Amino acid sequence: MDQEDLFRRLAVALAIGLLVGLERGWQTRTEADHQRTAGLRTFALTGLMGGICGLLSVASSPIVLATGLLALTGALASFSFLEATTEKNFSVTGVVAGMLTFLLGAYAVLGNETVAVAAAVAMAILLALRETLHTWVRNLTWPEMRSVLMLLAMSFLLLPILPNRTIDPWEVLNPAEIWLLAVLIAAISFAGYVAIRILGDRKGVAVAAVAGGLTSSTATTLSFARLARDHPESSKLLAGGVLLAGATMLARILVLAGLIKPALLAHLLWPVAAAGVVLLGSAAFFLRAETNGTAQQSSLQLRNPFDLGTVLKLAGLIAVIMVVAKVMADQASTAGLYLLAAISGIADVDALTLSMARFAGAQVGLAEAGNAILVAAGVNTLVKAGMAATVGGRQLGTLVGGVSAASLAALAALVGLR
């Protein structure tokens, strides 16, 4: 590397040490001088030392880098032991942070500077959130811990080993895609649980609804419907969440279609906007209606972040619908475009939206493609209303169903005026 590149990389190594040292120095700012093992200057020098050792290891031998790390670790561990003996503080975080700062300084010189800086920022954030993380762990219940482990196992143990190809005669069922859907549903349920626990009922439901609507409004509806079944007194609040997720789904349709085929917006914008306004306005009304003197206190007694059995049943149902949709589409040929859109909308609108946006103006006319997307969105809205009624109970079904019907009427009226 040339001299300019060399100085830049050493500057990055020093900056990494300064970043970590700033956090470490702030944490121990109340201690007297010379009463702490390592602070701003020590960590800055550690990062620079890692960079220098990295350069020396290239010029001479990798043993230089290993020796530097061992020497630093020994020094930090010795002073940490003295500090622990005096103050009865047995934390090893400072020693690990010093070792990692040294290694990131070396990697900034020998490897990718951006990755080194990103890792340093992540380390600084973890160190700064010490009290927050410890409080969270102390308050963590066994059902929450079990749910986290189950979600991680579903995502990183089972998903990678499932075949990512179709295995049925109709070439529809992809085990990896279906399991990914199950993971998505479980993650949305858990995210909603965490949001409600942290933010309270009203804000938690709103945040979970928007986040869920960006990924799967159907899964979000199922999650809220299960809550409504256990807490019918909160049906109005949860209905607001379901409707807000639906409004977010409609906005997502416009964004996807607009990015792939901007010409489609002329056919979609006003009908989708009309339906979205009805959903959004009703959601705001229901969410605000729950506001009272105890609005920030959680009345939703959440017992289980997500129910794996329910998740698997829904994923299985969608798999069946996918097979039926494929069989009917094959029989209906091109004349069944809207029928296929309606069947696709039972489970999801994204796949059909992406397909129609890709084919619009070529294999499919713009108007027909836009109408197919609207059919899928309308059917999906009706399905979620039915899900709210069957899973969440009569009160939730009535609220969601009534507003959904009004939103579809607004959509149909704008389509007729188009």
306-357 residue pLDDT tens: 667 766 776 676 677 566 656 655 555 545 778 878 887 887 787 778 777 7
The single residue listed with the structure tokens 């990494």 is 16
Q: At what angle do helices 235-260 and 366-392 cross, to 10 degrees?
A: 160
CB burial string 63-85: b at 16+ within 10 A, e below:
ebbeebbeebeebbbebbeebee
Angle at 205 between CA 204 and CA 208, to 5 degrees: 85
Mapped onto helix, strand or coil, the DSSP state of residue 360 is strand
Residue 61 CB burial class (10 angstroms; 0-12, 13-18, ≥19): exposed
360: β partners: 364
User: What is residue 204's predicted lDDT score, i.e. its pLDDT?
Assistant: 80
Q: Which residues make Cβ contacts (< 8 Å) with residue 380, sequence separation at least 6? A: 217, 218, 249, 345, 346, 348, 349
Q: Are 180 and 163 in contact (CB under 8 A)?
A: no
User: What is the distance between the alpha carbons of residues 273 and 250, in angstroms, rounded to a whole number?
Assistant: 8
User: What is residue 297's predicted lDDT score, i.e. its pLDDT?
Assistant: 41
Q: Are 227 and 393 in contact (CB under 8 A)?
A: no
The single residue listed with the structure tokens 């009290």 is 131
User: What is residue 51's predicted lDDT score, i.e. its pLDDT?
Assistant: 95
User: What is the distance between the alpha carbons of residues 121 and 22, in angstroms, rounded to a whole number?
Assistant: 12
User: What is residue 211's predicted lDDT score, i.e. its pLDDT?
Assistant: 76
User: What is residue 357's predicted lDDT score, i.e. its pLDDT?
Assistant: 79
Local structure of residue 162 (DSSP, 8 states): S
Q: Whole-model pTM?
A: 0.58
Q: Locate all alpha helices (DSSP H) within 360-393, ordered by sequence.
A: 366-392
Angle at 107 between CA 116 and CA 77, to 5 degrees: 95
Number of DSSP helices (H) and strands (E) in the chain, helices first? 17, 0
Q: Which of 198, 378, 356 is nearest to 274 (CA)?
A: 378
Which parts of the chain sit beneath pLDDT 50? Answer: 292-298, 334
User: What is residue 294's predicted lDDT score, i.e. its pLDDT?
Assistant: 40
User: What is residue 34's predicted lDDT score, i.e. its pLDDT?
Assistant: 54
User: What is the distance between the alpha carbons of residues 126 and 121, in angstroms, rounded to a whole number?
Assistant: 9
Q: Which of 192, 173, 171 is nearest to 181 (CA)?
A: 173
Give the Å distances, CA to CA, from 34 to 42, 88, 149, 417.
Answer: 12, 17, 43, 78
Neighbours of 28 (CB within 10 A): 15
User: What is the distance between the alpha carbons of residues 281 and 247, in angstroms, rounded to a whole number?
Assistant: 9
Residue 356 CB burial class (10 angstroms; 0-12, 13-18, ≥19): buried
